[in-house]
Copies of this chain bind each other. A is one copy, B any other.
Amino acid sequence: MTMPAPESPDVLIIGGGLIGLATAWRTALRGLSVTLCDAAPGRQASFAAAGMLTPVTELHYGEEMLLGLNLASARRYPGFVEELREAAGGADPGYRESGTLAVAFDNDDREMLADLHAFQRSLGLEAEWLSGGEARKLEPMLAPSVRGGLLVASDHQVDNRMLLAALFTAIERDPRVRIMRANVAELTVANDRATGVVLDDGTAIAAGQIVLAAGCWSGLLRGVPADVLPPVRPVKGQILRLTVPSVYKPFLTHTVRGVVRSNHAYLVPRAHGELVLGATTEEQDYDTAVTAGGVYELLRDARALVPGITELPLVETRAALRPGTPDNAPIIGPTALPGLLAATGHYRHGVLLTPATAEAMSEILATGEVPEPVKPFSPQRFGK
């Protein structure tokens, strides 16, 4: 009971988060026509996120390959946002070179931070070890108990909501891109090739190439062969937003990350006074309830690092779902089904990896060639 196709774009993108929107924008710049489908674009993980661009501070053992892509995407950010600002008629994408300060709450936490520092240096990354006093000199709101810190001058931030808004504006100004506010119900496959999609309301759309960029829902699309579906799962994060009244400004100037009795906490100060506190990491299937326990732990840990948050208005509580993958790395490139590509599974690094992903995807869509930096993240790397 499908209805006739309204048009047939060169590229159809399923999902209007940062990855889908940025891919649409960059792909249209290559001269291709793009339709992006999402009933509520920009309202899920991309909206909830804190927007940290912190590849050095968030380094994890065993993720050295991902580090390369993370660093490349971080380096690409200044140029990316300048091009976006121009494409969006001057809208500010919210990029802020704030630097990041990672601090330790107790002696065990300091051990962890020292280990991280050694690992960073072994990879040639720059990070400066600070005493507790030096850290407090940089950020006077830090707790007197803070035991030491690591200043990463190159780890910055972007206001993900401003970035979303700038992407929407850039896309609206580009006649090659169309946003359809509808969800995709099913992929259409003919002769072992993806040929289009069917929307929730039954509308069928044919397209030359289809990009699955639906975050943690990317593994649920009907019509995709089981061995082609990306192995993503939802990883719940609860996150809070506070406001810094002008009397307390600037409050914090760097992004502050901390290890508090082995829990990771962060505080991301925006130029306009928002302070983002995050985030829990929970395997709770598709549940997005904000819980008493989640909010309690976020406030407890942030308060241990920066006691002054006590006085700040709490203006938003939210939970959203990161797209996790078996190896914590993203899924970027052509799938085993011709015509179907994936740009998903970015887990904690969706905002950071937006420029690198969008540019790799636009290259692949325009030329068929997979750029070297994203080859390790092929959708086809997972065993059948």
Contact = CB atoms under 8 A, between A and B. Distances in A.
Interface of A: 240, 242, 277, 289-296, 299-300, 302-303, 309-315, 317
Contacts of A311: 291-293
A295 B299 contact: yes
15 contacts: A277-B292, A291-B311, A292-B299, A292-B303, A292-B309, A292-B311, A293-B303, A293-B311, A294-B314, A295-B295, A295-B314, A296-B310, A300-B300, A314-B317, A317-B317
Nearest to A299: B296
B313 A289 contact: yes
Contacts of A315: 290
A183 to B, nearest CB: 25
Contact of A310 (B290, B292, B309): B292
Contacts of A299: 292, 295-296, 299
Contact of A291 (B291, B296, B302, B314): B314
Given A299-B299, A300-B300, A292 B317 contact: no
A290 B303 contact: no
Given A296-B296, A317-B317, A291 B312 contact: yes
Contacts of A317: 314, 317
Contacts of A242: 292
B290 A314 contact: yes
A57 B362 CA distance: 67
A312 to B, nearest CB: 5
Nearest to A238: B314
A224 to B, nearest CB: 33
A299 to B, nearest CB: 4
Contact of A290 (B277, B289, B309, B313): B313
A141 to B, nearest CB: 13
Nearest to A243: B289
A208 to B, nearest CB: 44
Contacts of A294: 314
Nearest to A295: B314
Contact of A309 (B240, B293, B302, B313): B293
A318 B299 CA distance: 17
A284 to B, nearest CB: 10
Interface core residue of A294, A299, A300, A309 (most chain B CB under 10 Å): A299
A313 B318 CA distance: 11
A242 to B, nearest CB: 6
Nearest to A277: B292
Contacts of A302: 292
Contacts of A314: 290-292, 294-295, 317
A39 to B, nearest CB: 24
Nearest to A242: B292
